[in-house]
Every structure is written in C-alpha cells, then in structure tokens.
Structure 1
Amino acid sequence: MNTDSGNVVKSGGISMHSAETSPLSGGSRMDDKQRRRRYFLYRWKDYGVGYLFMLPWMIGFAVLVAFPVGWSLFNSFNKVRITPEGFKFEWVGIDNYRRAFVEDNIYSIQLITYFQEMLLMIPLILIFSFFVSLLLNQKFPGRTLVRAVFFLPVIFATGQVLTELFVQGAGKLPFIEQYNLEGLVRENVGPRIAEPMLAVLSKAVIILWYSGVQILIFIAGFQTIPRTIYEAVRIDGASPWESFWKITLPAMVPFIGLNAVFTIVDLFTFPFNPVMDHVRANMFKPATGYGYASALAWIYFAIIIALLAIVLWITYRAAKGRREMR
C-alpha cells in the first residue's frame, strides 16, 4: 500500500518535473517570454540614455530633413524642368547617373582630385590634433589659456569669415613661394601626386583651423585612461615610449575613429568644395536642372558614406582586437 502510494507519488513527481522542463509546456514558454522581457529591459537600461539624447535629433530629422532627402533622391531619377505651371518631371531612370560618369568629365576630375586632397589632409589633421592634445593634456602653467587658443579658430573661422580669410589669401603659407616649394614638388614627385600635395600645402592653415574639436575629443579620451596604469608600468620599468605604444595609443583607438568620422564630414562640407560648387552650378542650367544636380549630389554622398563605413569598420576591428588581447 505504501509502496503503491510511493510509486504514485514518484510517478506524479516525474510527470510534474517533465511538465516543467518540457519545451512544449506553457511554463517554459512563459520563461522564454520573461527572459526576453528581462533582456529587453537590460538592453534598454544599457542604451536607453543614449537613445534619449538622440531623440531630439531623430525628431528634427524626421520632421525637417527626411522629406527633402527623399525628394532629392526621387529627383535624381527624373529630368526636372521649371515651367510657368510649376515643376515638370520626366522619368529617366539611371540616365542622370550615367551622364555623370560618361559625359560630365569635369565632375569626375573634380571628384577624384578633391578626394585625393582630402585623403591627404585627413591624416594630417588627425596626427596634428593627436600630438597637440597629448601636449595639452600635460600639467603646465597656463594650460587652460593655451587650450582656449587652439579652440578659437573653430569659433571664428566658420562660414563667411572663413570665406573672406581665403579670399584675402590668409589660407596660404608664405614659405611655399619664398622657397619655391612648388617647383621642387613638381620635379621630384609625379604630376598625379604633385597636384593634390600642392593643393594641401596651399590649404595648410586649415590643419590648424580644423583641429580644435578634434583636440578637445582627444583630451577627453586621454583623461579616460587611469593614471594608476601608467604608475604600474613605470614600476615595471617601462619607458614613456613603450607606455605610449602599449597603453596610450590602443586606448585611444575609439577616439581616433570618432575624430576621423568628424573630420571626414567636416572637410567634405568645406565651403570651397569644388564638387559642391559643380552641383550647385548644374541646378540652374537648362540642359541639366535639379534632377541631374540631385544625381551628382547622391553620387558624392554615396562615396562619403562608403568612406565613413570603411573608417568605422577599421575602428571596430581595432577595438575588437584590443578587447580580445585582454
């Protein structure tokens, strides 16, 4: 009797246990829902603050920018004409894009030349701002004043002020003409490389003017590295050179990537950008108009996005490799 009852209890216990662990049971499904809910809450706590900071920009983009961007993409597949009755649209497909690469030789040359200049200037700005911020991160009298001096060009050299400075020749360095550097560059470097190099030298002051924000970001990055790490490696006998390559530079990889993205966006919207001037000029030509100009702008935008994607991928791989080494 006791044995039978014990078996019943045992079998009942087995059936209850199997019901709890069976993936087809309702309890298991509830556990999965709870786990997903907890995981969602965990991720929201992790990223929610960032999304809240992005919310004003997202609202502004959806209200003010999304429609014009979509409309320009639609225009790029049309021939747009302005008539007394309004805008007239004639669907031409990818013909505007084909004309940009096949017929418009000026656009292709300007695009290649300007990208060569920027690919030379971006690393120079990053290297300059990195080492200046490394110096400004040290303790010395008047450090706050010196930091403010390096940030002043960001405030003054913008928009119309920058345009007027370049018109007056303030963007060029005088020693280029004094020492005939242009002739030396053309003699010792091929013509394909000489042109973008000379263009960069003629805009060398931009490296100083466009480094203020990057310097601040790098200084903030240096301050995230604990001082105790440097004290520990000094005790172990590491030199400042070794601590720079083993600690400082790896820790600054995310900030280098952030500054690279900022610099790319900043320079490719430069006021004296010949590509953007060409786009604006084609907007009002009867033979091209808004549709063709929109296609030129979207080609330019796509190349910039591809360049940004490459920079973000390299930064991600470098940061991931550093985490795996720990």
Structure 2
Amino acid sequence: MNGKTSRRKMILQFRWKEYGIGYLFMLPWIIGFIAFVAFPVGWSLWNSFNQVFITSEGFKYTWVGLDNFRRMLIENNTYPIILLTYLQEVLLIIPLILIFSFFVSLLLNEKFPGRGWMRALFFLPVIFATGQVIMELFEQGAGGLPFMDQYNLDVIIRQYFSENTSNMLLGILSKAVIILWYSGVQILIFIAGFQTIPKTVYEAVKVDGASPWESFWKITFPGMLPFIGLNAIYTIVDLFTFPYNPVLEIVRNNMFSPTTGYGYASAMAWLYFVIILLLLGITLGLTYRATRGRSEGR
C-alpha cells in the first residue's frame, strides 16, 4: 500500500514538474474564463428557467421550468418570425461573402504592382467599421445599394415574391454594401491559404498540359477546403453577433421589459445560441467530411 502511495506521489510530482509552469501561465486565463464566461453563461441558463424580478433587495427568482420557452414560441408570434427571417437572411449572406472574398483573394494573390496597397484597402473597413460606426451608417441609409431606389426594386421584388421572401431579399440588399465590408478577414485567411499550396504542384500540372481551369478545380479548390470551412465558421459567428441584429435587439428589449424580464430574455438568447451551435456543428461536419474525403482520395 505504501509503495502504491509513494508511486502516486512520484507521478504527481513528475506531472507538476512537467506541466506545472504551463498551468501557472494558464491560470489568469482560467480565472478570467470562469469569472467572465462560465459564470455569466451558467447564470443565464438558470435565468431561462425562472421568472426574474428586480426588487429593492436584489433579484427574486420564481421557478417556472420551460414556461419561458413555451411563451416565447407559442404565445409570442413576433420573436419566432424575426428569428426565422434573420436566419434565412444569414443563410443567403454567408455564401455571398464566402464567394466574394474567395475570388477577391484569388485576384490579390497574383503578382501585380500595388498588390500590398490593394490588400490593405480591402482590410481597412474591418478596422474602421466598429459596432457604433456600423449602426450610424445604417441609420443614415448608407448600407444599401443606390440603384434600388432608382429602378424601384422594392416594388418589383414585392410584386414577384411573397411577403416573407421579399422582406428577406430587401433586408439583404439594404445591407449589401456594408456586409461586403465584413469580408476583409475572410480575404486575408484565403490569401494565407493560397500560400500553403506549393508552387511546384502548379508547375507539375502545367507541364502535364493541364489548363488553368483544370488546375483550379483539381488543386486550388481542394486545397482551400479547410480555409473555406474556417471562413464559414468565422462568418457565421460574425453575422450572428452583427450590431444591426434584430434578434439581439428584441432580446435586449425584453430583458428590460417589466412584463417579461431577464428570465424570458434568457430563454430567447438560449434558443438563438442553440441555433448558432447547430449551424457551427453542421459546418464543422461538412468541412471534416470534405477534407477527409480529399485526404483518402490521394
């Protein structure tokens, strides 16, 4: 028995010598994660199952179980409609941003005079377009396309599409210019991805007589699949935390409403969070399958 105890102590001492310094360096992050992430998330989950009242003595909790979720989905018709409409917009916007940033990065990866300035030009909006700046630009109507009013696209779209579809399309067009500003990080990631493909591979297929179109689909696109998945994940998180977000706005409004409060707003936020996690999981799964299939096909 004493031999086993001493052996365990030796193992613990060895592990502490090997990993102790690393744990000490991680300690500030662990404390910050528990204080500023884990505790607020856990408290929000607890609130979603309670009716929360703010009194002179502090917060008062009344356990209601799943009643907040039932009221949110059945009694409240506004939130599910806004959530589904914004989800449809995001699912259309994500491919547009990925396609735009992919082909812009493909051009910026080529050698031409002033390439560094052009790369900086596409990334500058990411630096200047902070949350408050974006909201101010939207309020001034600077996010839409100028030709929408010129050619009465609003009337044409509503004439040929249903109300929900037309609202979704008009919502995307009204944010088109500023949404393209959010492609700067994706462009940089794609450019970094292009650098990982060896030039010798292109030279080899060129000697074999492959055209640029064939080399794109056989080499460039398969090699960029992990970066496409990474950019898809980044874009999902970026758009779902977008400052001009109607879902987050309705959550904030219900948080400070005397008839709903923190518990009801927390239930809304958790439904929104679960949807984001599902999208991220689907994206990770598709990226993993695509990259795995590519590696097995070699």
Return the offset for 1:286.
1.6
User: Which is greater in Rg?
Assistant: 1
Return the offset for 1:284.
1.4
Cα distance in 1 between the residues matched to 2:93 and 2:117:
27
Q: Within the alignment, does 1:150 sit opposite 2:122 as a pair? A: yes
1:190-210 CA distance string (max 9 Å, x none): 433222111111110123210
The corresponding residue for 2:85 is: 113
Q: How does 1:123-272 map to 2 (within 5 A)?
A: 123-272=95-244
Return the offset for 1:162.
1.1
Going from structure 1 to structure 2, the CA distance change for 1:120 and 1:57 (only over 3 Å counts) comes to farther
Spell out structure 1 runs of 4+ moving beyond 4 A: 51-59
Going from structure 1 to structure 2, the CA distance change for 1:210 and 1:53 (only over 3 Å counts) comes to farther
Going from structure 1 to structure 2, the CA distance change for 1:53 and 1:224 (only over 3 Å counts) comes to farther
Cα distance in 2 between the residues matched to 1:54 and 1:268:
29
Give the letter aligned to residue 265 of structure 2: A
The gaps in structure 2 that reach 5 residues or longer are 1-10
Q: Within the alignment, does 1:92 sit opposite 2:64 as a pair? A: yes
Which has the larger displacement, 246-255 or 202-211?
A: 202-211
Return the offset for 1:56.
6.8
Cα distance in 1 between the residues matched to 2:256 and 2:171:
29
Question: In 1, are the aligned partners of 2:85 and 2:164 still within 8 Å (CA)?
Answer: no
The gaps in structure 1 that reach 5 residues or longer are 1-36
Q: Which of 60, 77, 87 is matched with 2:49 structurally?
A: 77
Question: In 2, are the aligned partners of 1:128 and 1:207 still within 8 Å (CA)?
Answer: no
Cα distance in 1 between the residues matched to 2:26 and 2:173:
38
Classify the secondary structure of the residue corresponding to 2:244. Answer: coil
Return the offset for 1:117.
0.7
1:183-229 CA distance string (max 9 Å, x none): 22223334332221111111101232100000000000000000000
Cα distance in 2 between the residues matched to 1:52 and 1:321:
40
Report how many residues are paired.
280
The corresponding residue for 2:7 is: none
Return the offset for 1:270.
0.9
The corresponding residue for 1:32 is: none
Using structure 1 for the length normalisation, give the TM-score.
0.82
1:153-184 CA distance string (max 9 Å, x none): 00011111111111111111110111122222
The corresponding residue for 1:283 is: 255
Which has the larger displacement, 190-199 or 106-115?
A: 190-199
Cα distance in 2 between the residues matched to 1:316 and 1:57:
29
Question: In 2, are the aligned partners of 1:134 and 1:219 still within 8 Å (CA)?
Answer: yes
Return the offset for 1:324.
0.5
Give the letter aligned to residue 90 of structure 1: T
Going from structure 1 to structure 2, the CA distance change for 1:54 and 1:139 (only over 3 Å counts) comes to farther
Q: How does 1:285-300 map to 2 (within 5 A)?
A: 285-300=257-272
The corresponding residue for 1:3 is: none
Q: Which of 288, 302, 307 is matched with 2:279 structurally?
A: 307
Percent identity of the aligned residues? 70
Give the letter aligned to residue 210 of structure 2: A
Cα distance in 2 between the residues matched to 1:184 and 1:220:
41
RMSD of aligned Cα (Å): 2.2
The corresponding residue for 1:9 is: none
Classify the secondary structure of the residue corresponding to 1:81. Answer: strand
Return the offset for 1:57.
5.4
